[in-house]
A and B are shown apart, each in its own frame.
Chain A
Amino acid sequence: MAMKSVAKDAGAKAVGEIFRVAGPVVTATGLRPRMYDVQFVGGEQLMGEVIQIKGDKTIIQVYEDTSGVKPGEPVLDTGAPLVVELGPGLLGSIYDGVQRPLPVLQKVMGDFILRGVKSPGLTREKAWKFVPKVKAGQAVGPGDVVGSVQEAKNVEHRIMVPPNFRGGKVAEVRDGTFKVDEVVARLDSGEQVKLHQTWPVRKPRPVKERLMPTVPLITGQRVLDFLFPIAKGGTAAIPGGFGTGKTVTEQQLSKWCDAQVVIYIGCGERGNEMTEVLSTFPKLEDPYTGAPLMDRMSLIANTSNMPVAAREASVYTGMTLAEYYRDMGYNVALMADSTSRWAEAMREISSRLEEMPGEEGFPAYLSARLSEFYERAGRAKTLAGLEGSVSVVGAVSPSGGDFSEPVTQGTLRIVKVFWALDTALRARRHFPAINWLTSYSLYSQILEDWFRKNVNEEWPRLRAWAQRTLQEEAELEEIVRLVGADALPPDQALTLEVARMIREIFLQQNAYHPVDTFCPPARQFKLIDAIKKYSDLGQKAVKLDVPVKDVAGLKSRELLTRVKYEAEFDKELEKTLAQMDEEFKKLGAA
């Protein structure tokens, strides 16, 4: 292919030449590009991004495999940064790290990902019914909504004036069915609003004002909502060694959290996990709207064996999608599994650049990048004056399961919620293996109000009681280890029993059980309240010299362990509580 026509094809600004190829990092000469502008590298036009400029040399990270690429081949500078397409059709989709739709890649290349294929993020074929929300003559500014498209059964996709427009009076707004690259509104500034807009992934989308998070992101996971809640617009890290439950937790949140839109980034992890989401989510119902769960999701899948540079970009791609839905006034939840693989991609690129390494070979700017990323989360008033949020939950995979490593530490300095996965709990199959003594949430105070008003006045008190009991258990266990369980006075022996109930009945939650997998806050409260009641009655009985063994052996206790699995939870709990009363009455304690 003649170089000139290549240049024309790609809309290139300038053409240079490859000087050096070292894995995903390619050096070119003869270009004068801007940092982070997209380049097409080699005869096959592999997509890449400028990551360093050194005199006449431009250093490019390439998103595709560079085997066989030679010095002397052309490099085209597009003069534009890496952008994603934002518009109807994002939901229900699955993309690679640079927003190429995987089904399209499959159609073009077959079952294996080859290279050199370009594809827009949004299909040009589908037409959407657009309903205008503004009239001609009305003034609109950046971020304002001009109309909407019903993207999924329960998601109204608001078409907005792009944030980088000046805005003006609506000169014309069209009603009807449009494809994503068609114009739906014209402004008197000469600007045209299309059904889709583009945005550079590395640049946060602007908001009018940042707001404090005050509302919890309900997850339906007892240990999270009750002990360590995350706010809508909050940030959480979930570090843990291999097999401790990061992915299961991220998937549980994707299924059951009460966000309107979920963006799931499979960043350098397993292909089969993506398949699992693709095969199970469409069959599950969103518990809040009844629509198929896949309809509120967008998946970014850049698995461990896909190119590392695209993995590096994938978290930004995902974040930009999340911000876009936030700008429509939605609560968005972003899952990133795993941020460690992203950090490793940075490390690999950095080492190819022969940069001076920081701790464990990670680049010195690792923690700055982590902060910038998590700072894009938050609750905000959008440019249109709506309220929206992006909550971020990042899995961290510390090497050797050791939390002192740089990615875990860098993350913990920024995020407000720490869900510590514990290898010892995993080994006992206590799932979710979240350590209740070391985990924390800095939102729990702020969110108390909400739980008091919306679930039960007693929520904070019960929470404090449960935490105290678990703490006491840890202290008593020290004693038991030294002198044996027999040495404990009856009230403390009972505390151990109650703590065990909190752990086994309340904290443990089976993600694979059809009922137990999702436990709404009201039910969480009833369950812990029942355990508290058992504890109170038990302590009374013990004071009346009933042996702890008898209290612990009550039938109602066994029933209580099973009630969380019951589809008819309320009815079964009633029965159990009645039986509890009955049994304690017999012991003389009710």
Chain B
Amino acid sequence: MPKEYRTITEIAGPLIFVEKTEWVGYGELVEVNLPDGTRKRGQVLDSSKEIVVVQVFEGTAGIDRQSTVKFLGETIKLNVSRDMLGRILSGAGEPIDGGPPIVPEKRVDITGSAINPYSREHPAEFIQTGISTIDGLNTLVRGQKLPLFSGAGLPHNEVALQIARQAKVLGSNEPFGVVFAAMGITHEEARVFMDDFERTGALKRAVLFLNLADDPAVERLITPRMALTAAEYLAYEIGMHILVILTDMTNYAEALRQIGAAREEVPGRRGYPGYTYTDLATMYERAGRIHGKKGSITQIPILSIPDDDWTHPIADLTGYITEGQIAVARDLHRKAIYPPIDPLPSLSRLMDAGIGKDRTREDHKQVADQLYAAYAEGKDVRGLVAIVGKEALSDRDRKMLEFADRFEQEFIRQGHEEDRTIEATLEIGWKLLATLDEAWLTKVDRKTLEKYHPAHRGPDQEVAA
């Protein structure tokens, strides 16, 4: 039995300082017992022969110097088992759905270990999300980490849910599941996710970890790690393909900043600790594929970026770690276009590996490049019109302008339940490109043009994938 100490010397913010302890391991799990019987949990941040610093997950409210501290002799672990599927757990991994406790098949340290880069397999399997702007222009592949860069008041949750509902790998019926981690989101938002999972039956193959807005902020630091630990178990030991949704990373970063401030660390930009990059990376890098393992982890972190400013550290540091980003854009949302995904600032860095002949379709890359270029040009013209008016426009300008409008209405816009195949997406793309002069389609080579351009293959001719 671990000894109990009544030697708290200082309490500051989320931290307590304990002296005259036995030797305590760095990162060890701690139990704090309050005189009124309340039990809180924490973790050792700094351990020396003189003093031990503990961060308390539930916050230090109510803790006094009479409270006792117990060091549990191990780092934080999560009970994992395949029975977790279908369960709703707290942000600290305790069941909150009224169901029985999880009978562990294994207890696993939640910090996880780095995947040996030599063991990784390069992600290359196309995931069809059914959303044209993603599948067509910013393709997601299995094992990728691709965040939604969004802002307050934008429908990023709807987009994430639509991806979770529709995501599939063509021609594969391997087991697939969702791990969902909520950090500091509201009850209402969490409800939306749970209802949708329930409605579609996805809950049966999902594990939910919920730390909501009124739950302790410090606990947010462990919630995503719990979720990723569950995901790793399901992916690499059970062999499932897991999609991990982490929302909202902004709240996570805020909690990190709070701890940094409490420890009186030298702050980096905007008060976030200097190690924020590394800290985020230890989570985002837990996405991937491993040689010889059946399962995989694909991550969709959601960020509501303060003031839509991509140079804000949360967006900036995430962008430096993830393999691209999907931009949920305010101007499209204002035009009532759903999903308001702007392809121009979006990017999927692993797209090239996942598309083309035998994966999606041989013309995919060229269509994507051409759509992108034309939309960019159309938007430039839109900017020009605002200055010089429509009269001064050349024929090309006019057509590009019209293209941009139709692209938004027909390619970007789609229904919440509309699940487009990759062929359907590419066909819409070709239909729009056909409104432009052939000579302007410089990103498409002759052969591809002749095979796929509507003008070259007659009105109703189908193209074989």
Contact = CB atoms under 8 A, between A and B. Distances in A.
Interface of A: 19-23, 27, 65-73, 94, 102-103, 105-106, 109-114, 241-243, 266, 268, 270-272, 274-276, 278-279, 301, 303-306, 308, 341, 344, 347-348, 351, 357, 360-361, 397, 399-402, 427-429, 484, 486, 512, 558, 561
B158 interface: no
Interface string B1-36: 000000000000000000000011111100000000
A351 B117 contact: no
A242 B320 contact: yes
Contacts of A486: 392
B73 to A, nearest CB: 9
Nearest to B51: A20
Contact of A242 (B286, B288, B319): B319
Interface string B205-235: 0000000000000000000000000000000
Contacts of A21: 25-26, 46-48
The 5 A-B pairs at the shortest CB distance, nearest first, are namely A20-B48, A304-B281, A400-B311, A242-B319, A102-B118
Given A22-B45, A71-B24, A304 B345 contact: no
B118 A22 contact: no
Interface stretch (B60-68, B268-276, B417-425): B268-276
A348 B116 contact: no
Given A20-B49, A243-B347, A271 B275 contact: no
A79 B277 CA distance: 34
A272 B288 contact: yes
A103 B24 CA distance: 34
Interface residues of B, number: 72
A456 B20 CA distance: 78
Contacts of B40: none
Interface of B: 23-28, 45-50, 74-75, 109, 111-123, 143, 236, 265-269, 274-275, 277-278, 281-282, 285-286, 288, 290-291, 293, 311-313, 316-317, 319-321, 323-325, 344-345, 347, 349-350, 352, 369, 372-373, 376, 388, 392, 439, 442
Contacts of A429: 369, 372-373, 376
A102 B290 contact: no
Given A102-B118, A106-B119, A113-B113, A397 B320 contact: yes
B266 A71 contact: no
Contacts of B24: 70-71
B281 A305 contact: yes
A112 B115 CA distance: 4
Given A348-B275, A400-B311, A70 B25 contact: yes
B116 A27 contact: no
A278 B119 CA distance: 10
Contacts of A68: 25-28, 74-75
A558 B439 contact: yes
Contact of B278 (A344, A397, A558, A561): A344
A243 B349 contact: yes
A69 B74 CA distance: 10
Contact of A69 (B26, B282, B323): B26
Contacts of B344: 427
A357 B264 CA distance: 13
A484 B47 contact: no
8 contacts: A19-B49, A67-B75, A68-B26, A72-B23, A73-B23, A112-B116, A305-B285, A400-B269
B114 A243 contact: no
Contacts of A274: 117-118, 120
Contacts of A110: 116, 119
Given A19-B49, A102-B118, A276-B122, A351 B281 contact: no
Nearest to A112: B113
A401 B316 contact: yes
A71 B49 contact: yes
A351 B118 contact: no
B392 A304 contact: no
Contact of B113 (A114, A270, A279, A427): A114
B282 A305 contact: yes
Contacts of B388: 484
A23 B26 contact: yes
A308 B274 CA distance: 12
B285 A512 contact: no
A351 B274 contact: yes
Contact of B311 (A27, A109, A308, A402): A402
Contacts of A266: 117
B323 A272 contact: yes
Contacts of A270: 285, 321, 323
A425 to B, nearest CB: 12
A307 B47 CA distance: 19
